[in-house]
Amino acid sequence: MKTNNKAMPVKKYILIYSILVVVTILLDQLSKVWMKGLLDGNRVIKILGNWMTFAWTINDGAAFGSMSGNSVVFFICTVLGLPVFGYFWWRARTRHPFGQIGFAFMIGGTIGNAIDRAFLGDGFFNGGVRDFISVKGFAIFNVADCFLVVGIIMICIALLFLDFDGVFVKQPKQAQQPADEQPSTEEVDD
């Protein structure tokens, strides 16, 4: 599998992946607005029987509704995490585009959920996240969460198989010098 470690020009890199982040945020926010209108009240729409449904909820905890009631803490973690994601996204500039897209998805998904936490509560930093995709016995989540999970999977695949220095990428063998040109290992007496 051919890999590429040549960096894209900086302006082009920033433009392309900024657009991808913005599209990710827009898809998340628009889906939340659309589903809120569609699921007005306690309406549930069956997608795959009772196993997967659209059902509206506000999650003021972490993933899968755990640690409920700590939205301020999660917003602060998000604000602190975004620069870290941005740093790794920037470092990925010389890596495979698959991982770069994964970082853009993570940044967009994180910002999408941060918007909810910042503006949807009874005060700034005090909101929950709008969730509407429900999988019975597993979790309820949203489009931003999907982008986060897909982004993490893409980054892992790139780190393992696609980056030029990936864990499972065969490194090219170095050409060996002919025996008569190799440096001597004999000790020289002075």
Per-residue pLDDT of the chain (190 residues; tens, 9 = 90+): 444 457 889 999 999 999 999 999 999 999 999 999 999 878 999 999 999 999 999 887 766 555 666 667 777 788 888 999 999 999 899 899 999 999 999 999 999 988 988 887 666 666 788 999 999 988 889 999 999 999 999 999 999 999 988 888 887 776 566 555 555 555 555 4
Distance, in Å, from the CA atom of 99 to the CA atom of 112, rounded to the nearest integer, reads 20
Helix (H, G, I), strand (E, B) or coil at 52: strand
pLDDT of residue 78: 80
Provide the CB-side half-sphere exposure for 33 (13 A, CA): 8
Q: Read off the pTM.
A: 0.81
Of the candidates 95, 112, 111, which has an alpha carbon nearest to the alpha carbon of residue 154? 95
Please provide residue 108's backbone torsions phi and psi, each rounded to the nearest 5 degrees.
Answer: -60, -45
pLDDT of residue 156: 95
Q: 125 and 72 in contact (C-beta within 8 Å)? A: yes
Burial 138-168 (b: 16+ CB within 10 A, else e): eebbbbbbbbbeebeebbebbbeebbeebee
pLDDT of residue 51: 95
Catalytic residue numbers, as ranges: 131, 145
Structure tokens at 133: 């995709």
| Amino acid letter, 127 | G
Distance, in Å, from the CA atom of 142 to the CA atom of 157, rounded to the nearest integer, reads 23
Handedness of CA 36, 38, 40, 41 (dihedral sign): negative
pLDDT of residue 56: 92
pLDDT of residue 172: 73
pLDDT of residue 3: 43
